[in-house]
Amino acid sequence: MHNEQVIIVGAGPCGLAAAIELQAIGIDPLMIEKRNVVHSISQYPTYMHFFSSPELLEIAGIPFTTANEKPSRVEALNYYRSVALRREVRVNAYEAVTAIHPQQDGSFVLESSNRHGELNHYHAKAVIIATGYFDHPNELGIPGEKSDKVTHFFREAHPYTGMQVAIIGGSNSAIDAALELERVGAKVTVVYRGDHYSSSIKPWVRPIFESLVSKGRIQMRFASRVIAISPRSVTIESEGGLDELPNDFVLALTGFHPDRAFLASFGVTIEEEGYPTFNDETMESNVPGIYLAGVVASRREANEIFIESGRFHGRKIAVHLMRTDSLTL
């Protein structure tokens, strides 16, 4: 059994920010990350640029410098990796926390498994859940959704050159993917349940997208939904009835949700809207000693903008832990 004061589950930007805030009050937390540091950002489209300016993504008071107005995915990976190394944050990478057991004295026992299949047990006085939720896409619940031609992540456009691609969704991620796919010669149809364009679309992108739609280079299907996916086609339902379109690949960019089963397994309740219960002032969940940090505590659709506010969650947690004299092992 490994004894720790605080364990942080997940090593994304907001988890790293929390770790460094705890260092500032004399706590050296252990981070346990089932993949690599800031794995969620490594999953972003290869050539993506953030909406946010670099100073809004900074953590630990370390400047995020970039030659561009908006930082790229590669620059963000380099920045957060460098912060973790410079601040000597302890990270057990490629180790997955599989269970958290609350104890009668208010502490917790965590079980984990690393990439070699070795099992570990940890004892901690407090646990911070900073897992994000990009491993849990919102599924459509339709025939064919599990086929190899369907993905919930868009990485880059090149593999789709010359292919018939259906994009499900109308958010920025769907619009950006459609633009990149059109540039490499894919035949793109965007299927969106809304009656008109989403108000969240970046204002400098929307006119470009609308122009391509008006020219017929991208097909836009409003008030529609995909109801079935087959090897060579998709079936789209709208007010006009059913259409079957030729199709090679489907990008189901329908958003994500927190791992509700994992949170519930150690007593965190889920609100009616589908998000975990927590105190906005302290980030503590309904289970004393279990805190939430980052996008797992989002009550709205998650995107990279959430780093702007989620990076401050660790400060709230550190302040609360200083007020509760319960971390002596």
Does 303 score more than 50 pLDDT?
no
The tokens for 172 are 């920025």
Beta bridge partners of 151: 251
Total residue length of the chain: 329
- What is the pLDDT averaged over residues 203-231? 95
Residues 234, 298: Cα–Cα separation, whole Å = 32
Does 225 score more than 60 pLDDT?
yes
Q: What is the pLDDT of residue 89?
A: 95
Question: Which residue in 292, 298, 269, 312 sits closest to 126, CA to CA?
Answer: 292
Residues 320, 203: Cα–Cα separation, whole Å = 39
Does 259 score more than 90 pLDDT?
no
Torsion of CA 173, 175, 176, 182, to 10 degrees: 140
Residues 172, 261: Cα–Cα separation, whole Å = 28
Specify the residue for token string 């204002």.
203
Alpha carbon of 315 to those of 55, 87, 291, 327: distances in Å? 17, 16, 12, 17
Does 328 score more than 60 pLDDT?
no
Does 210 score more than 90 pLDDT?
yes
Q: Point out the least confidently predicted range of 38-47, 131-140, 223-232.
A: 131-140
Span 104-126, pLDDT tens digits: 999 999 999 999 989 999 999 99
φ and ψ at residue 138, rounded to 5 degrees: -75, 110
Beta bridge partners of 304: none
Span 175-199, pLDDT tens digits: 999 999 999 999 999 999 999 998 8
Q: What is the percent of the chain where pLDDT is above 90?
A: 67
The tokens for 39 are 């794995």
The tokens for 284 are 């503590």
Q: What structural domains does the chain harbor? A: 2-135+256-323 (3.50.50.60), 150-252 (3.50.50.60)
Span 27-79, pLDDT tens digits: 999 999 999 999 888 888 888 888 778 888 888 888 898 888 888 899 999 99
Q: Is 216 exposed, middle or buried (0-12, 13-18, 19+ CB in 10 A)?
A: exposed
Contact, 129 vs 298, CB < 8 A?
no
Q: What is the pLDDT of residue 213?
A: 96
The helix/strand/coil state of 115 is coil
Which of the residue ranges 240-249, 268-277, 311-320 has the most confident prediction, judged by mean pLDDT? 240-249
